[in-house]
């Protein structure tokens, strides 16, 4: 029930609205065909794969959050919230994986060093970041609620009640 | 002593009361998430996300090894070294094994990269090791993870309704996904389908519409911007022709019953065994075909056979499919190696519009299956093979012409 975890309900409602907005922004920017950058911290890719396909997933993540906040303490509703976070982890994880792999080689085709220099390697991790990467730390809050729920339930799926 | 039915039930009740512990089952988060991934409303977004993750990791990993290291290793070191030490520059053996090169102002000119040299030891090895191997390893690793986590049965349930439209059922997703790695295990996996009709439809669709890892790897490397459109055309074709085949092929397409297991943490040892076995299988089955196919294409080029066929079939390619006549050679070579055919098409990309390139690559995909798949289909039965080839011939002309027509209507052909 919402009353038991009002903090969680409010938090994921706000996160759901922001995530949905980011997902829509992803799709609109992709539809426009150009990249969008803001304040040196946010960049929305305009390509059909990361912006379009990734944007749809971020949008779904937002919708999962919003549909899961009602009766937040019910396990099936909470699972939607958890699923919203998992979708963000998939998109952000893929973005971070791509950044890591792109930061290692020098990408020289003919001569020069095989691996990136240290300053360029570090620079690869600097902002701006895609929306899913920015949402990632906020989505991790769901782990706190998963652990809280597990400790309250004893983590078990079956309750034995001897009859007779 | 003989017990009546009622006495038997009483006895059963008595025994069960003493031996069975009754309890109420309370759903865990894992159960609830498991249910969400099977229900269409929530399961389809999750499937879209899983596929996104699959292809994103695939592209990043394959690009890291191929573009980050192997392109340079082969183009800047391996190719020049072989060009220098291999005897008989300009001769036929040199052309087949190292570099077919080109003629500029009457002079033999060496190729500048492994994708243009078309030698067994250069293009063949580069495609097999530099492009396909990283793609295959990450593909099978991701697939093994999805299998061991327990996601594949859920995907099968989710897609069951859609796949029934093409005469298959949810488990057809297994050979389909396997074929994205290599068509050979994909064709072998059609045995999990129950009826001859289902196996025939599946085998035909795999041979025509599912590009293998080698082809996907090279498309990802050479034409990443067009890959989405190419795959879209193939997916649409898969369902259109699957639907038609379901209507015309006699036989039954039964329902399937599946036990969906709970999600589990994958074991590293299992993943290692699966990936190791599949990559080893790919090495044994596919890599010899890559090298042999490369050699045969080289011989046919040297003998002028491909040039002759290309010239003879050029009116069909230009008039019906709407692609330049220069694509005839690569399209004929595609019978032996689809990956090399894509590389050949990329080499003449200046002669084509992006739409013509999409058409040409889709044609390469829906063209005759590669020799290894051909052999595997023959193993499943010559009648099935002949039937599949008959369907394939019709599909190539019908779908190739349709894509051209769409291009004309859109004004991009």
Question: What's residue A49's pLDDT?
Answer: 83
Beta bridge partners of A82: none
Q: Find out whether the peptide bond into B316 is cis, omega within 30 degrees of 0.
A: no
Is B25 contained in some domain? no
Instruction: For residue B116, give both structure tokens.
Output: 């243009």
Question: What's residue A160's pLDDT?
Answer: 47
Beta carbons of A159 and B23 less than 8 angstroms apart: yes
Is B214 contained in some domain? yes
Is B142 contained in some domain? yes
- Taking the CA of residue A90 and the nearest CA in chain B, the distance in Å comes to 6
Question: What's residue A157's pLDDT?
Answer: 54
pLDDT digits (tens, 9 = 90+) for A76-107: 999 999 999 999 999 999 999 999 999 999 98
Beta carbons of B230 and B361 less than 8 angstroms apart: yes
Contact A76 B27 (CB under 8 A): yes
Among B22, B32, B36, whose Cβ lies nearest the Cβ of A161? B22
Among B36, B52, B68, whose Cβ lies nearest the Cβ of A90? B52
Residue B258 forms contact with A (CB below 8 Å)? no
pLDDT digits (tens, 9 = 90+) for A115-156: 999 999 999 999 999 999 999 999 999 999 999 988 887 655
Is B325 contained in some domain? yes
Residue B42 forms contact with A (CB below 8 Å)? yes
Using CA atoms in the order A13, A17, A23, A28, what is the torsion angle rounded to 10 degrees?
170
Residue identified by tokens 């059609």 is B190
- Taking the CA of residue B349 and the nearest CA in chain A, the distance in Å comes to 21
Beta carbons of B211 and B365 less than 8 angstroms apart: yes
Question: Whole-angstrom Cα distance, residue A163 to residue A131?
Answer: 53
Residue B393 forms contact with A (CB below 8 Å)? no
Within 8 A by CB and 6+ apart from B161, the residues are none
Mutation target to probe the A interface, by most A beta carbons within 10 A, among B44, B68, B232 is B68
Query: What ipTM was reported for this prediction?
Result: 0.91
- State which residues of chain B have pLDDT below 70: 336, 371
Question: Whole-angstrom Cα distance, residue B39 to residue B34?
Answer: 9
Is B378 contained in some domain? yes
Chain A residues touching residue B69 (CB < 8 angstroms)? 105, 114
Query: In the predicted model, is pLDDT for residue A2 greater than 50?
Result: no
pLDDT digits (tens, 9 = 90+) for A32-78: 878 888 888 999 988 878 888 899 999 999 999 999 998 888 999 99
Question: Whole-angstrom Cα distance, residue A133 to residue A142?
Answer: 16
Mutation target to probe the A interface, by most A beta carbons within 10 A, among B25, B32, B50, B76 is B32
Question: What's residue A162's pLDDT?
Answer: 47
Domain ranges, residue B53: 31-259+266-410
- Taking the CA of residue A123 and the nearest CA in chain B, the distance in Å comes to 18
- What is the Cα gyration radius of chain B? 25
Please count the residue pairs, one from chain A and one from chain B, whose beta carbons lie less than 8 angstroms apart: 123
Contact A57 B50 (CB under 8 A): no
Within 8 A by CB and 6+ apart from B345, the residues are B327, B330, B352, B357, B360, B361, B364
Contact A101 B26 (CB under 8 A): no
Q: What is the DSSP string of B142-191?
A: HHHHHHHHTHHHHHHHHHHHHHHTTT--GGGHHHHHHHHH-HHHHHHGGG
Chain A residues touching residue B56 (CB < 8 angstroms)? 49-50, 94, 97-98
- Using alpha carbons, select from B56, B53, B240, B37 the residue that is nearest to residue B156: B37
Task: Supply the pTM of this predicted model.
Answer: 0.82
Is B1 contained in some domain? no
Phi, psi of B22 (to 5 degrees): -90, 140
- Taking the CA of residue A40 and the nearest CA in chain B, the distance in Å comes to 24
CA distances for B106 relative to B101, B102, B300, angstroms: 12, 9, 22
Among A54, A105, A110, whose Cβ lies nearest the Cβ of B68? A105
Is B337 contained in some domain? yes
Instruction: For residue B153, give both structure tokens.
Output: 């049965």
Question: Whole-angstrom Cα distance, residue B387 to residue B390?
Answer: 5
Question: Whole-angstrom Cα distance, residue B402 to residue B240?
Answer: 12
Residue of B nearest to A143 (CA): B29
Contact B52 A80 (CB under 8 A): no
Contact A102 B23 (CB under 8 A): no
Residue identified by tokens 């459109």 is B229
Is B9 contained in some domain? no
Instruction: Please provide the distance, in angstroms rounded to a whole number, between the alpha carbons at the two ends of chain B.
Output: 87
Q: Which residue did the predictor score with more confidence, B374 or A19?
A: A19
Total domains in the fold of chain B: 1
Beta carbons of B66 and B131 less than 8 angstroms apart: yes
- Using alpha carbons, select from B78, B256, B216, B205 the residue that is nearest to residue B136: B216
Within 8 A by CB and 6+ apart from B39, the residues are none
Within 8 A by CB and 6+ apart from B32, the residues are A75, A76, A78, A79
Q: What is the mean pLDDT of chain A?
A: 88
Question: In B220-355, where do the E strands start and end?
Answer: none
Helix axes B196-209, B173-181, angle to 10 degrees: 30
Question: What's residue A1's pLDDT?
Answer: 44
């Amino acid at each position: 029930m919402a009353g038991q975890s009002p903090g969680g309900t409010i938090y994921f409602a706000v996160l759901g609205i922001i995530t949905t907005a980011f997902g829509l922004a992803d799709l609109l920017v992709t539809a426009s065909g150009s990249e969008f950058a803001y304040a040196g911290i946010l960049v929305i890719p305009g390509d059909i794969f990361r912006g379009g396909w990734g944007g749809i997933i971020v949008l779904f993540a937002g919708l999962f959050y919003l549909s899961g906040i009602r009766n937040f303490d019910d396990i099936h509703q909470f699972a939607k919230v958890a699923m919203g976070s998992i979708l963000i982890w998939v998109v952000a994880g893929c973005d971070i994986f791509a950044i890591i792999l792109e930061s290692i080689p020098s990408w020289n085709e003919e001569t020069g060093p095989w691996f990136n220099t240290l300053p360029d390697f570090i620079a690869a991790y600097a902002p701006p970041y895609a929306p899913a990467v920015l949402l990632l730390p906020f989505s991790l809050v769901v782990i706190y609620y998963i652990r809280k729920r597990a400790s309250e339930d004893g983590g078990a799926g079956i309750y034995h009640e001897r009859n007779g | 002593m003989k017990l009546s039915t009622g006495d038997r039930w009483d006895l059963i009740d008595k025994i069960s009361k003493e031996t069975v512990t009754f309890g109420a089952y309370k759903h865990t988060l894992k159960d609830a998430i498991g249910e969400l991934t099977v229900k269409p409303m929530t399961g389809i977004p999750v499937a879209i996300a899983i596929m996104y993750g699959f292809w994103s990791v695939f592209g990043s990993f394959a690009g890291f090894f191929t573009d980050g290291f192997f392109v340079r290793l082969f183009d800047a070191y391996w190719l020049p070294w072989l060009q220098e030490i291999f005897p008989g520059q300009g001769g036929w053996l040199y052309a087949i094994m190292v570099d077919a090169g080109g003629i500029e102002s009457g002079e033999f000119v060496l190729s500048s990269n492994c994708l243009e040299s078309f030698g067994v030891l250069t293009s063949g090895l580069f495609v097999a090791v530099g492009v396909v191997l990283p793609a295959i390893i990450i593909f099978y690793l991701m697939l093994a993870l999805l299998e061991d986590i327990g996601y594949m049965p859920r995907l099968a349930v989710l897609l069951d309704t859609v796949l029934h439209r093409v005469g298959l059922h949810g488990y057809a997703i297994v050979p389909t996904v396997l074929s994205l790695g290599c068509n050979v295990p994909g064709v072998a996996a059609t045995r999990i389908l129950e009826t001859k009709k289902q196996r025939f439809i599946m085998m035909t669709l795999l041979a025509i519409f599912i590009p293998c890892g080698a082809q996907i790897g090279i498309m990802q490397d050479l034409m990443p911007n067009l890959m989405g459109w190419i795959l879209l055309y193939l997916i649409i074709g898969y369902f259109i022709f699957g639907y038609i085949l379901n209507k015309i092929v006699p036989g039954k397409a039964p329902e399937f019953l599946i036990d969906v297991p709970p999600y589990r943490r994958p074991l590293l040892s299992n993943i290692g065994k699966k990936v190791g076995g599949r990559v080893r299988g790919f090495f044994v089955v596919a890599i010899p075909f890559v090298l042999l196919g490369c050699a045969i294409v080289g011989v046919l080029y040297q003998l002028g056979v491909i040039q002759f066929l290309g010239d003879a079939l050029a009116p069909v390619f230009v008039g019906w499919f709407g692609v330049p006549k220069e694509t005839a050679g690569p399209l004929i070579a595609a019978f032996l190696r689809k990956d090399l055919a894509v590389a050949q098409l990329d080499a003449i990309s200046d002669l084509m519009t992006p739409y013509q390139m999409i058409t040409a690559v889709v044609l390469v995909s829906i063209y005759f299956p590669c020799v290894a798949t051909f052999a595997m289909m023959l193993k499943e039965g010559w009648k099935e093979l002949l039937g599949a080839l008959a369907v394939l011939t019709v599909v190539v002309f019908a779908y190739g012409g349709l894509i051209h027509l769409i291009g004309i209507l859109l004004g991009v052909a």
